[in-house]
Amino acid sequence: MTDILEVTDLHVAVEGTEILKGVDLTLQQGEVHALMGPNGSGKSTMSYAIAGHPHYEVTSGDILWNGESILGLDADERAKLGIFLAFQYPVAIPGVSFANFLRAAVSSVRGYKERARAEAGGGNKVIGSELMPMREFRQELLAKMDRFDVDRTFARRYLNDGFSGGEKKRGEVLQMAMLEPKIAILDESDSGLDIDALRIVSEGINKLVADGMGALLITHYQRILNYVKPDKVSVFYQGRIVKTGGPEIAHMLDERGYAWVEEELAQALA
């Protein structure tokens, strides 16, 4: 079964201010949909709303997973369905190793915690029983580090603490590889990357898409789309998707900027 994420007439407010003003979007596994637009147009707001951030209030419309509304689900419940959000600015957590963070996250998403609690029947749980077995986790982690060109020393380092921009984004790719989401929302994964880091991150995204992951790729620029080829490109402007087409739209934006979008929209509304 192919999982499908649908956003229908979505309106979202932040602290009483409406940011999204009726967004419609559909994304399925194995598909790459690029979302482009100027700063402040609402792209990140949509990504946080889909992921279930509590500060983003859905005032009308819906977010559907395989036809069922997920508005009542918390962020962790949406993650267990298979929705992943890669941050533009990943947070550093000193004192927590990358490996320990990933083991806890993978254990939660794959249901180890629920099984351990059910087996304990309300009694005392064996220490570590809520986590994926260490040997199994380590074997999978090292294999995926090698496949996605992530240095094995990442496992011992504190999560994003002292990481370069490229290391943080490669860490996000590794998280996706381990969590195996059905749909990933990539919020400016090309931000702050040099050419080599952009290539490595893009190759990782392409491998995940080839494995069946769907990707909503939020970006300002054409350059990542030279490596990650989109099936669709949508233009986000003033809280709405105002145009959708193929890769040619990204080339138009690269050549002409966003002024033509405003002019075309003004003419359509005149």
* Domain range annotation of the chain: 4-90+166-269, 92-162
The fold for domain 4-90+166-269 equals: Rossmann fold (3.40.50)
Give the neighbor-by-neighbor strand order of the sheet with 183-187. 83-86, 183-187, 214-219, 32-36, 232-237, 240-245
164 and 92 Cβ atoms separated by less than 8 Å: no
Tell me the CB-side half-sphere exposure of residue 237, using CA atoms within 13 A: 16
Cβ atoms of residues 227 and 256 within 8 Å: no
pLDDT per residue rounded down to tens, the chain (270 residues)? 789 999 999 999 999 999 999 999 999 999 999 999 888 889 999 999 999 999 999 999 999 999 999 999 999 999 999 999 998 889 999 999 999 999 999 999 998 877 777 776 655 555 566 899 999 999 999 999 999 999 999 999 999 999 998 999 999 999 999 999 999 999 988 888 889 999 999 999 999 999 999 999 999 888 899 999 999 999 998 899 988 999 999 888 888 888 777 777 666 554
* Dist CA 253 CA 235 (whole Å): 9
